[in-house]
Chains A and B, each alone.
Chain A
Amino acid sequence: MAITGIILHTLGEKTDAVRAMVEQSDDLQFYGLHEEKHLVIVGEMPSRELKRRLEGLEKTDGVLAVYTTFVNTEDEQ
């Protein structure tokens, strides 16, 4: 499983809904909220699914952009 550091840049009024979605997802862990618009989360998913998962997050209502800041795949190697 890859471990990924992710920032979700959200629309202010939809931040709570996006956070709730993150907290309900098995493969995402919520770490913090910055300036009411940046959710810091950590994802755990096979790296082959990473791209698709990030694209899915990007298409979530209220998400303006997704930034990946860290990927570790050492236990897949």
Chain B
Amino acid sequence: MKKFNIAIVGLGGQGIITMGTVMKNAALSSDLQDVSGSERRGGAQREGYVETFVKYIFYENESEMKDPRKSMHSPMIESGGTDALISLEPLETLRGACYLNKNSIVIFNKTPHIPISVRMGQTSYPEISFIVSELRRITENIFFYDFDAISIENFNSLTQKNIIALGALFAKADIPIDVTAIENILRTGKGAENNLKAFKLGLKL
């Protein structure tokens, strides 16, 4: 059995859940055998930490698929168990860092969203250099972009940043499903034109 795990983290309202749904739907049309992964919806829309997991599962053969000790999967990813982490908020990348191991790929957004504690002057927001150095202690495969800026620049709105980030993931990590499978899902969904454009922008990063 092979697994490919992706953790997506960020804040409520950033489109985290949509990214997970697109990735899971894309797997339905590929020859993957199982896909799962949970979403945390509590606090969505309200700036709280949100995470979603995508787990792609390939069985070696028919008997493994029927083996009760192999064919049931947790909706969660265990600590150190992710192949890729996408984060739409710099600080939250560190909250999602528990899922990383030395081979994981990290893609994160550089635009910060300051929490209330910082607003009230009780703590300070970490520098991007601190975030990167903490991540480097775990893995070398770190990529970060200003997805907010790219989204505003190209779409005059922030709503496209999640799909741009998804494109970046496909550009940097060896995801076991086809780019065309993602494009097919985006093509049939809402706002297809912008989404396809955003995904392509990400692929070029």
Are the chains A and B members of one assembly?
Answer: no
- Interface of A with B (CB < 8 Å)? none
